[in-house]
Amino acid sequence: MTEGSLLKVSGLRTEFATYRGALVAVDGVSLALRRGETLALVGESGCGKSVTALSVMRLVRRPGRITAGKVMFEGQDLLRRTRREMQRLRGSRIAMVFQDPLSTLNPAFTLETQISESLRVHRVARGREARERSVELLAAMGIPSPSERLHSYPHELSGGMRQRVMIAIAVSCSPDLLIADEPTTALDVTLQVQIMDLLAEIKRTRGLSIILITHDLGIVSQFSDRAAVMYAGRIVEQASVSELLGRPLHPYTEGLVGCIPRLGRPDVPITPIEGTVPDLVRPPVGCRFAPRCPRATDRCVASEPPDYRLESDRIVRCYLHEKSSLASSGEETG
Amino acid sequence: MTDQRALLRVEDAAKRYRAGRSRVRAVDGVTLEVVRGETLGLVGESGCGKSTLGRLMCCLEAPTKGRVLFDGVDAARIPPRQLRALRPKMQMVFQDPFASLNPHKTVAQIVGLPLRIQQRASRKEVRERVAQLLEMVGLDPSQGRRFPHQFSGGQRQRIGIARALACKPDLIVADEPVASLDVSIQAQILQIMRELQRRFSMTAVFISHDVSVVSHVSQRVAVMYLGKIVELGPAQSVIGDPLHPYSRALISAVPRLDSSLEAQVIRLSGDPPSPTAVPPGCRFHTRCFLDQIPECRAREPELREIRLGHLAACHIAG
């Protein structure tokens, strides 16, 4: 399992101090990302998918705090690195693309300054070489007349172009891992296709591994290899995308799939998940999905199920699948 | 083209705004009808003018050119007193349930306000009707005493719908009512919309950027691009077999859940042009992937019926 995995997160726990007590946004998350694969982290707002990514990057800010777990990246635990070591790693080995390029690009500087900054800081190139590299990067991202564009400011670009620039900066130092947090949520579908194509292409040409954070199961289906579904701070199911969407096992995954209106099939009814997500300051004692689960039993309410590992690397956190579990004892419960 | 059952008729309506020295052609010559009892889906990408068209349809804005006839009445040309009497018949549901509810009022006050203003209903009548309305959208009437901030986004959207339904409007215009909601909550709201259609044969315009959502609730669909309707027809026909190259690209770009049904994705190059600089001829010709004919650059295509009840504004399609 560890062989070939670029990143291995185990038992990660991230809390936010609130006046009502600790809000555990990420609670015992374990996942592994293999080299060259795209792993989708799926879930609805507040499920902890973005906080998981920020924790991996060690970018959680106060009042947030990582309180337990390991983040193994190429044999090193990132949670034990110094601040300085993390700074060197960020942008050079692990890079991130955020949802809103307008708030992540600095409005006061030209694209040239912002792209060459990461090249300079990580000592990849400087001066004229940095400029040439920047032009090459913009061209590779499909930006027309890149050398003129270098002198533009972010507001002069369209949303799709800005996201291309963000990706250019992210891949400028040839990272091994790219974390893309809802990279196309702010974009229209015709632009979304362009950006997702670009991500797929740079993954192929640059041998990147990608963690793709999204709420859109359609994107998961089209652009990733495996997926982990998060609910209320926990990963409830992990499987290959075809298995996950073709035969969802966890009732929450099943519920999510059932919520999505099928294009051109108004005859296929949508079945909403009743209720709302639990309060993460005082989460339910048992399974976190039990209050909304149509198949919950007394046991589900009373105690939380562990992770059950099923055939072909599938992990489900639900008592319904206890019998088909490979190992009799659940592992990695955090 | 003129249908006797039409509740709303938009005739060559345009809405322009001045933005500094340039003029934004937000809605640029739209003609369509909304028939009683139907839900018309209005789909398009950001900046295509769908929200402005929605506001024109609800008579919240007067068109710069053309007419909007509600039940035969041109709302832009009647005195304010008459317009006010018309208002309860057309109601809008907004995208942002945080911004569209007054934070200082209780839910019962918010939902009851239209009744008090428009129908001069007594307190008791208002109370009963509010309870009924809240129940209709799946909220517990006892929650009426709470304030909007005590509700989640999905619940707030239900409150917005209840308020819109308060005066039993003839027409509801819902502008991206589910865009800010998570999928599981979105499904709940869509369910309510379908339920209302079934129970009251509600007439509605459903505006969204999401083709799947629109296809789920609408009988007819209009696709908008850069201020104009480029395609209009029965939902099944438009979504299943779109005619206009823009609709084809838009629909093909929606990521599918079942990879077995994966359609060939048509990739458009570039960004949509700005509504301050609409290209001459066919406004889509700068991004069109079809083999163009000289007409495309020279003359703006009109909507024409290509299949029964299915129109497209393209010189080549069909």
Each domain of chain B, given as residue ranges in start order, spans 6-99+170-312
Report the CATH architecture of B6-99+170-312: 3-Layer(aba) Sandwich (3.40)
For the entire predicted model, the pTM comes to: 0.89
Range of A234's domain?
5-108+153-321
DSSP string, A245-288: HHS--SHHHHHHHHHSPPTT-TTS---PPPS-PPPSSS--SS-T
Q: Distance from B120 to chain A by nearest Cα, in Å?
A: 35
Q: Quick check: ipTM above 0.95?
A: no
pLDDT band at A333 (very low <50, low <70, confident <90, very high): very low
**In the structure, what pLDDT confidence band is assigned to residue A3 with cuts at 50, 70 and 90?**
low
Chain A residues inside the 8 Å CB shell of B251 = 263
Give residue A158's pLDDT. Answer: 86
Looking at residues A242-254, what average pLDDT do you find? 94
Residue A193 has pLDDT above 50, yes or no: yes
Please list, in sequence order, all residues whose beta carbon lies within 8 angstroms of the beta carbon of residue A23, skipping any fewer than 6 positions away.
Answer: A15, A16, A17, A280, A281
For the segment A130-151, the average pLDDT, to the nearest whole number, is: 92
Structure tokens that stand for B107 in this block: 């839910």
A274, part of any domain: yes
Residues of chain B in contact with residue A216, where contact means CB-CB under 8 angstroms, are 255
Q: Is residue A132 part of a domain?
A: no
Chain B residue numbers with beta carbons less than 8 Å from the beta carbon of A259 are 183-184, 186-187
Structural domain count of chain A: 1
Whether A190 and B253 lie within 8 Å, measured CB to CB: yes
What is the distance, to the nearest Å, from the Cα of residue A149 to the centroid of all Cα atoms in its chain? 30
Subunit contact A270:B152, Cβ cutoff 8 A: no
- Written as tens digits, the pLDDT of chain B (318 aa) is 455 679 999 999 999 999 888 899 999 999 999 999 999 999 999 889 999 999 999 999 999 999 999 999 998 899 989 998 899 999 999 988 888 999 999 999 999 999 988 877 889 999 999 999 999 898 989 889 999 999 888 899 999 999 999 989 999 999 999 988 889 889 999 999 998 888 888 899 999 999 999 999 999 999 999 999 999 999 999 999 999 999 999 999 998 887 655 568 898 887 888 889 999 999 999 999 999 999 999 999 999 999 999 999 999 987
User: Is A33 within the bounds of a domain?
Assistant: yes
Three-state DSSP state, A51 = helix
Residues of chain A contacting residue B41, judged by C-beta atoms under 8 Å apart: none
Window from A164-168, A212-216, B269-273 with minimum mean pLDDT: B269-273
A328 located within any domain:
no
Q: What is the spatial distance between Cα B287 and Cα B291, in angstroms, rounded to a whole number?
A: 11
Q: What is the DSSP string of chain B?
A: ---TTEEEEEEEEEEEEEETTEEEEEEEEEEEEEETT-EEEEE--TTSSHHHHHHHHTTSS--SEEEEEETTEEGGGS-HHHHHHHGGGEEEE-S-TTTSS-TTS-HHHHHHHHHHHHT---HHHHHHHHHHHHHHTT--GGGGGS-GGGS-HHHHHHHHHHHHHTT--SEEEEESTTTTS-HHHHHHHHHHHHHHHHHH--EEEEEES-HHHHHHH-SEEEEEETTEEEEEEEHHHHHHS--SHHHHHHHHTSPPS-GGGPPPPPPPPS-PPPTTSPPSSSTTTTT--S---HHHHHSPPPPEEEETTEEE--SS--
Across the interface, do A221 and B211 touch by the CB < 8 Å criterion?
no
Alpha-carbon gap: B187 to the closest alpha carbon of chain A (Å): 5
Position A49 confidence tier, pLDDT thresholds 50, 70, 90: very high
B315 shares contact with chain A (CB less than 8 Å)? no
Q: What is the pLDDT of residue A195?
A: 92
Please state, rounded to an integer, the average pLDDT across all residues of chain A. 91
Listed range (A203-217, A243-257, A265-279, A297-311) with the worst mean pLDDT: A265-279
Which residues of B are less than 8 Å from A294 in CB distance? Answer: none
Is the pLDDT score of A253 beyond 70?
A: yes
Q: What is the rounded average pLDDT of the residues A108-133?
A: 92
- A256 to B183: CB separation less than 8 angstroms, yes or no: yes
The distance of B155 to chain A (nearest Cα, Å) reads 10
**Interface list for B 218-247 with A (CB within 8 A):** 235-236, 239-240
Residue A116 lies inside a defined structural domain of this protein: no
State the pLDDT at residue B2: 55
